[in-house]
Amino acid sequence: MTRKLSLTVLAALLGATAMGSAQAYDADWKRGRVYYRQVCTSCHMAQVSKQFGPNEKTKADWAAYLTADKHNKGKDSVKQYYSKAYRASIKATNKAAEKFAEVADQELMDDVKAFMIRSAKDGDAPASCS
Ligand code: HEC
Residue minimizing CA distance to atom 18 of ligand 1: 48
- One digit per residue, pLDDT tens: the chain, 130 residues? 556 666 665 566 555 555 555 557 999 999 999 999 999 999 999 999 999 999 999 999 999 999 999 999 999 999 999 999 999 999 999 999 999 999 999 999 999 999 999 999 999 999 887 6
- 34 touches ligand 1 (CB under 6 Å): no
The answer to whether the Cα torsion of 81, 45, 50, 59 is positive or negative is: positive
Ligand 1 close to Cβ of residue 115 (< 6 A): no
* CA-based radius of gyration for the chain: 18
- Is residue 101 within 8 Å of 91, Cβ to Cβ? yes
Q: Is the CB of 40 under 6 A from ligand 1?
A: yes
Distance CA 113, CA 26 (A): 12
Between CA 78 and CA 65 the distance in angstroms is: 9
For residue 42, how far is its CA from the centre of ligand 1 (angstroms)?
10
Angle 74-118-63 (CA atoms, 0-180°, nearest 5)? 30
